[in-house]
């Protein structure tokens, strides 16, 4: 190793008493304070993350006292509202007030040949006007649904389910220009011999 000539930096005054890195002495409890700050910061981040997740998805529920984001539940009233009046099924077209040009559209959604014709025969026997009978866009429907476009035709839609022997009714504007559209499903196919 190389030897250097002594200089003024090699002589350290005795009153300093320190050799090496010149750091201040550690305070008592300094490590505990650092750990406490880290724990507090971690806790705040976890709470903020869980609260953010509870706002984004309903799979996580996290409530912070004082931050109620849920809507208050309505209080029950003393008197219950009466049930809506039931509509009687109309199976006879002479008893129905039908709009001008009223026809029934039948869609075969079960993929069974002759199913639409069988439904047409059941409906034309009492005198219902059936227009188009065709295949539905889907041929794997399990349930028959009678769609009606006007609330005044609810009784007629119920009458169609009675005449067909199966089906549910649904108010829908999915079939413009068709007051009643019947989408036949596999449940009707099981009834047809």
pLDDT at res. 115? 92
pLDDT at res. 1? 67
The list of the chain residues with pLDDT below 70 reads 1, 12-24, 58-85
Is the pTM of the predicted complex or chain greater than 0.85?
no
pLDDT at res. 45? 94
Return the structure tokens found at 61.
Answer: 């529920």
DSSP assignment letter at 77: P
CA distances from 93 to 151, 157, 190 (A): 17, 12, 26
pLDDT at res. 102? 92
Return the structure tokens found at 180.
Answer: 């009643």
Summarised one tens digit per residue, pLDDT across range 139-183 is: 888 999 999 999 999 999 999 999 999 999 999 988 888 899 999
Give strand ranges (E) for the chain. 104-108, 130-135, 145-148, 168-171, 180-184
pLDDT at res. 75? 53
Summarised one tens digit per residue, pLDDT across range 170-182 is: 999 888 888 999 9
Query: In angstroms, rounded to a whole number, what is the distance separating the alpha carbons of residues 180 and 50?
Result: 50
Structural domains of the chain in order of their starting residue, each with its CATH number:
32-70 (no CATH), 93-189 (3.30.70.2390)
Return the structure tokens found at 123.
Answer: 């409906």
């Amino acid at each position: 190793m190389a030897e250097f000539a002594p200089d003024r930096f090699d002589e350290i005054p005795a009153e300093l008493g320190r050799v090496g890195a010149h750091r201040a002495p550690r305070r008592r409890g300094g490590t505990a304070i650092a750990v406490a700050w880290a724990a507090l910061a971690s806790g705040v981040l976890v709470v903020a993350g869980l609260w953010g997740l509870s706002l984004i998805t309903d799979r996580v529920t996290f409530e912070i006292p004082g931050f109620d984001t849920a809507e208050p539940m309505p209080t029950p009233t003393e008197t219950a509202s009466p049930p809506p009046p039931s509509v009687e099924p109309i199976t006879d077209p002479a008893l129905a007030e039908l709009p001008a040009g009223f026809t029934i559209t039948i869609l075969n959604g079960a993929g069974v040949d002759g199913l639409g014709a069988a439904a047409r025969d059941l409906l034309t026997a009492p005198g219902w006007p059936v227009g188009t009978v065709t295949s539905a866009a889907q041929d794997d429907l399990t349930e028959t649904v009678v769609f009606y476009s006007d609330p005044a035709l609810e009784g007629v839609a119920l009458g169609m389910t009675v005449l067909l022997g199966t089906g549910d009714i649904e108010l829908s504007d999915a079939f413009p220009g068709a007051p009643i559209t019947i989408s036949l499903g596999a449940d009707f196919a099981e009834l047809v011999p």
